[in-house]
Amino acid sequence: MSRAELVVGRADNPPLLPLGTLIGRELRGRIKDDNPFLKYGQAALAKKGEDYFLIKPDCQRIPGDPSTTFSVFAIFDGHNGVSAAIFTKENLLANVLSAIPPGVSRDEWLAALPRALVAGFVKTDIEFQQKGETSGTTVTFVVIDGWTITVASVGDSRCILDTQGGVVSLLTVDHRLEENEEERERVTASGGEVGRLNVFGGNEVGPLRCWPGGLCLSRSIGDPDVGEFIVPIPHVKQVKLSNAGGRLIIASDGIWDALSSDMAAKSCRGLPAELAAKLVVKDALRSRGLKDDTTCLVVDINPSDIPIIPSPPPPKKKQNFLNSILFGKKSLRSTNKASKLSAVGAVEELFEEGSAILAERLGKDIPDQKSGVIKCAVCQADQPLDDPSGNPGTFFSPPSKHWEGPFLCTTCRKKKDAMEGKRPSKSTAGTK
Ligand SMILES: [Zn+2]
């Protein structure tokens, strides 16, 4: 079996600990010395079977050039079926990469990545909705290139960073209507109704949901049967680690409804990644039982091949259990305000943007008009500059005037307007 086959096999069917360690060593050994070593592990327990994950440690910016290797780790927590989660797992990475100009340097590539992630998420959402299937999915999509980590997310599958100083920070935002006031205001302003489920003569139960559709999330990929104001536009955060390294824990809400970010990080410190992932899942189950799909990826970004044992010892399991009973589900989420990364000194914040307005996310570049053909900023389809159909609506502003936004094709323009509540919605507008 070749090295490449070993890696591919691993992504779908993770083997036990020793192989993961070996692969990590082999892979990183081929890369320049100033790159970190990655070690990773995964653990999951299914209740509904709607969690999917992606481990791709062997991507290359320039195919065939190992010095351009980057890695992708992602979790997709599906709801109302699995097809959106599967479709996103299979198509999102290619859609993101298609939005990055070819032949750029590593720095240019990293700078282009936040915008490409937005385009890739929206493109994937449009493509899935065109399939005419139901279901939706959260996405937490992590790209690691050297010491730079870029995280794009919709929904409530968190990614946390545990640095060597013992500071735990959140790299994602929870897009839950219950906990995110800004998102409630956006959804309401775009025409959605936010409220709880009514049962038994008007008694309200459960978390805040958005109507029509009744989804608890304010952002997702898929969900053709809810309002377009449930958008696929991700929160994106990009940070650069110091060469002291750090650990990422990426997990679905089955973990975060049971453990706070701090509890998850502390419970597995000092353990190798594969074992750490298993322990986090076990801890979540111990405090809450198997109430939901529970998936956890742990990625260690180390300066050398030797595992680092962070200084604080793991707390006693009994204490974790007690905390989870004392503070319960709600406080777990609400007490998890992101720590100030910059205060640590170990992490440099490069980029953070979470706006749901596409025009604020895709930049305002003036396209090269010499060729007579320009690309849609979302789906990358070539469009003739002078549309023979005479449809000036494909531009945010007419091209003859001052340029005020990215170029979008007719399909993506419709999507943009629908997400902002400016038009009824998708093809099945009557049900929205
Ligand atoms: Zn387009």
Average pLDDT of the residues in 8-29: 46
From the CA of 54, how far away is ligand 1's center (Å)?
A: 26
Same domain, 124 and 192: no
Spell out the residues 6+ positions from residue 117 whose beta carbon is closer than 8 angstroms to its own. 96, 141, 143, 150, 152, 234, 236
**pLDDT reading at 432 higher than 70:** no
Same domain, 84 and 168: yes
Domain endpoint, select from 328, 353, 378? 353
Same domain, 170 and 305: yes
Average pLDDT of the residues in 156-182: 95
Average pLDDT of the residues in 31-43: 82
Average pLDDT of the residues in 111-129: 98
**pLDDT reading at 137 higher than 60:** yes
Same domain, 273 and 249: yes
Same domain, 45 and 147: yes
Same domain, 294 and 405: no
Same domain, 25 and 71: yes
Let me know if residue 229 belongs to a domain: no
The CATH number covering residue 258 comes to 3.60.40.10
Number of domains in the chain: 3
Same domain, 327 and 398: no
In the numeric block, the tokens 């001052």 are attached to 402
Q: For residue 427, what are the domain limits?
A: 364-431
Over the stretch 272-284, which tens digit does the pLDDT of each residue have? 999 999 999 999 9
Same domain, 39 and 148: yes
Distance of CA 213 to the CA centre of its chain: 22
DSSP, collapsed to helix, strand or coil, labels residue 82 as: coil
From the CA of 376, how far away is ligand 1's center (Å)?
A: 5
Sequence-ordered strand ranges (E) for 181-310: 193-199, 203-211, 221-222, 235-241, 246-251, 294-302
Sequence-ordered strand ranges (E) for 34-138: 37-45, 51-60, 69-79, 136-137
Q: How confident is the model at residue 367 (pLDDT cuts 50, 70, 90)?
A: low
C-alpha distance from residue 223 to each of 56, 126, 323, 412 (Å): 26, 11, 35, 17
12-21, 97-106, 286-295: segment of lowest average pLDDT: 12-21
From the CA of 304, how far away is ligand 1's center (Å)?
A: 43
Mean pLDDT of the chain: 82
Let me know if residue 358 belongs to a domain: no
Over the stretch 197-208, which tens digit does the pLDDT of each residue have? 887 777 888 999
Let me know if residue 227 belongs to a domain: no
pLDDT of residue 423: 67
Let me know if residue 359 belongs to a domain: no
Percent of the chain with pLDDT over 90: 63
Which is nearest to 72 in space by CA: 25, 139, 169, 166? Answer: 139
- Pick 251 or 325 by higher pLDDT: 251
**pLDDT reading at 21 higher than 70:** no
Cis bond upstream, residue 392 (ω within 30): no
Let me know if residue 73 belongs to a domain: yes
pLDDT of residue 406: 87
From the CA of 24, how far away is ligand 1's center (Å)?
A: 38
Same domain, 138 and 56: yes
- Pick 304 or 147 by higher pLDDT: 147
- Pick 166 or 380 by higher pLDDT: 380
Average pLDDT of the residues in 142-154: 97
C-alpha distance from residue 401 to each of 358, 394, 398, 405 (Å): 20, 14, 6, 11
Over the stretch 239-253, which tens digit does the pLDDT of each residue have? 999 989 999 999 999
pLDDT of residue 80: 96
Same domain, 51 and 96: yes
**pLDDT reading at 403 higher than 70:** no
Distance CA 14, CA 7 (A): 9
342 sits in which H/E element? helix 341-344
Domain endpoint, select from 325, 353, 381? 353
From the CA of 410, how far away is ligand 1's center (Å)?
A: 7
**pLDDT reading at 395 higher than 60:** no
Average pLDDT of the residues in 344-371: 82
Which residues have C-beta under 5 Å from ligand 1, the single-atom ion?
376, 378-379, 409, 412
From the CA of 364, how far away is ligand 1's center (Å)?
A: 15
Let me know if residue 266 belongs to a domain: yes
Let me know if residue 228 belongs to a domain: no
Same domain, 291 and 248: yes
Average pLDDT of the residues in 304-326: 50
pLDDT of residue 340: 52
67-76, 126-135, 208-217, 325-334: segment of lowest average pLDDT: 325-334
pLDDT of residue 424: 57
What Rg do the C-alpha atoms of the chain give, in angstroms? 22
Let me know if residue 283 belongs to a domain: yes
From the CA of 383, how far away is ligand 1's center (Å)?
A: 9
pLDDT of residue 297: 98
Structure tokens at 4: 């490449």
Domain endpoint, select from 307, 331, 353? 353
